[in-house]
Structure 1
Amino acid sequence: MSRLMQGDCVEIMSRFPGEAVDFILTDPPYLVNYRDRSGRNIAGDKTDEWLQPACDQMFRVLKRDSLMVSFYGWNAADKFVGAWKAAGFRIVGHIVFAKPYASKSAFVGYAHESAYVLAKGRPPLPASPLPDVMNWKYTGNRHHPTEKPVSCLQPLIESFTTPAGIVLDPFAGSASTCVAAALSGRRYVGIELLPEYHAAGQRRLAQVRRAMQSPAANDELPEAA
């Protein structure tokens, strides 16, 4: 079962059975009303009415004794932490991805991305824990205005799941998590609200499937696929 779905993630997840997925890796809107240089924006990035319902559903569909890794907007950290805890998650780790560039400068240059590691129940510890500071590779944001690099997501999936696991991304964007799961040999379910990013994700996944079926013709899968 691997699928990239288009629609509202709260409504779609409400139809999933409880404790159906093994790991959640997601990059929700940061609540900053972001718009890139070309004018692209992200649904749900202005207001937070979706935040608690989405967290409640993510907790419900995640298996007991499992993990979620979620990126977040640092200037809305109180809202994210409050929603995660209200849903039932425990904070068990924090990861900083160091960028080789500053995406914006104000009082300081913004040269990192952050994600929390959140637990439902008591997940087992990984055999070889990842460092909590990792390098970031710029994607060019070709498919999505806040596209996350597959090279950062794949180690998380491989550390926190087994090959039989199902990875969920309710805010899939252009499907970077799904691409990383596919390359890791995991099943995935992605959900994206906006049709244009869902279509971009479908194209990326089709390219990855072709490359994996014909490895002799593909010496290396492109980072952003």
Structure 2
Amino acid sequence: MSREQEFESICQRLSGSIAYESRDSVVAHGDSLEALQALPTDSISLVVTDPPYHSTKKANIAGDTDFQEDEHFLEWMEEYAKEWKRVLKMSGTLYLFCASEMAARLEVAFSKYFKPINHIVWTKPNEPGYDGWKGKMRKESMRKWYPHSERILVFEHGTYGTYEAYRRSPQGQYLLDMRKVSGLSMIQLTEFAGAYGNVNRGGAVANWEAGRNTPSREQYAKVKDALEATGNVPPLLDYEDLFRPLDVTKDVEFTDVWDFMSVRPFKDKHPAEKPQDMLMHIIAASSYPGDVVLDTFAGSGSTLVAARRLGRRSVGIELEMRWVDRARADLDALVVGSEYEQPVRVHHARRTHEPLLLDRLFD
């Protein structure tokens, strides 16, 4: 099924709750868990989402004060983890924003369903005009270090383990299963792929099946052709549906400490709004063009705006109608003639400090 067909299927499943729909974006209004449960299995390439933090107890963020005990919040989040695991493709990645106080417990809870691969610290090196707490708060009365950072937990399918049966990645297990069904030996497949190793005759194929690394697009094409030519296996998954992307270079933020500035305050700003440059950094690195990006706590639609600017499809689910209206306005403002025209200017941390045009729409 193509990305376009997958997106159409998603829109059909959400048809009763859609508040905005275009050829590349859809916003559903309502309870996010119910809408998530309606999505097709294996239909999402990337989840980027910012649920209530619970520990911050902000009355202006829906759901932030709903749970009396931490365990209740964690149980609620696990319901989402189960569904995210179901809808995410084998090549999918989950980015979960959370407060520093809850990060460790969320990471442990989610490890039942996913393999944790990063624990990113977002330091928010804001300048004057972004946050006024520095000059107002009574620092002498603090009982802990002020949490001027947030966490972004990153997960993929799979687990960590000791025994071979448990340490394979889903991609490695898939390649192993398909080769065994095909009847080809590891050595034969290595010859077809031309991926010989320096140590063992299985070459790179042994590493691919063990999940230690992944083939290039060209190598996988040769493997796919060889396995399918036996007539013993069904058509193999496309490269984009099997292997998780992570496209970073020395020219962008590539460590697990990020210094993107927060969104400068403006009229009708969402209280938990995330900066466009950080969202675009995530989406560009962890999805392929045309992929479907999901945000189950869409807020004012920032993730969807970033996805459209990068030529991705997006699905947002939001409970509060005021933010659905904001998302609809921002998405409409981004369409100015061509399919993926970008009338708003991309700015990067420590380079440009002016707010985005979309951030000023409601001034």
TM-score tier (shorter): 0.7 to 0.9
SS of aligned partner of 1:206? helix
How far the C-alpha of 1:213 sits from its partner, in A, is 6.5
**CA distance in structure 1 between the aligned counterparts of 2:117 and 2:45, rounded to whole angstroms:** 17
Q: Which residue of 2 aligns with 1:69?
A: 95
Higher helix content, 1 or 2: 2
With a CA cutoff of 8 Å and minimum separation of 6, indicate the structure with the bigger relative contact order.
1
Structure 1 residues 219 and 209: alpha-carbon distance in aligned structure 2, compared to 1, 3 A threshold: closer
Structure with more of its chain in strand, by fraction: 1
Question: Does 2:281 align with 1:150?
Answer: no
Q: CA deviation at 1:111?
A: 2.3
2:257 is equivalent to residue 133 of structure 1? yes
Deviations 1:86-141 (A, max 9, x none): 3x111001222221247676422332221011011445452436221222222135
CA contact (8 A) 1:68 1:117 kept: yes
Q: How many residues align?
A: 220
Does 2:63 match 1:43?
A: yes
Cα pair 2:48 2:294 within 8 Å, conserved: yes
Does residue 222 (structure 1) correspond to residue 352 (structure 2)? The answer is no
Identity in percent: 28
Rounded Cα–Cα distance in structure 2 between residues aligned with 1:134 and 1:66: 22
Provide TM-score, normalisation by structure 2.
0.55
CA distance in 2, matches of 1:223, 1:94: 29
CA distance in 1, matches of 2:83, 2:124: 31
The structure with the larger Rg is: 2
Equivalent residue for 1:20? 43
CA distance in 2, matches of 1:176, 1:145: 12
Distance 2:289 2:341 in 1: 20
Counterpart in the other structure of 2:332? 206
Q: Which amino acid letter does the alignment assign opposite residue 112 of structure 1?
A: S
CA distance in structure 2 between the aligned counterparts of 1:153 and 1:115, rounded to whole angstroms: 11
Which of 83, 90, 95 is equivalent to 2:115? 90
Q: CA deviation at 1:59?
A: 1.0
> In 2, are the aligned partners of 1:170 and 1:191 still within 8 Å (CA)?
yes
Structure 2 runs not aligned, ≥5 long: 1-6, 8-24, 68-72, 159-168, 170-242, 346-355
The correspondence for 2:85, drawn from 59, 62, 86, is: 59
Code of the residue aligned with 1:84 in structure 2: it is F
Shift of 1:188: 0.4
Contact 1:172 1:190 in 2 (8 A): yes
TM-score where L is the length of structure 1: 0.85
Deviates more, 1:62-71 or 1:140-149: 140-149
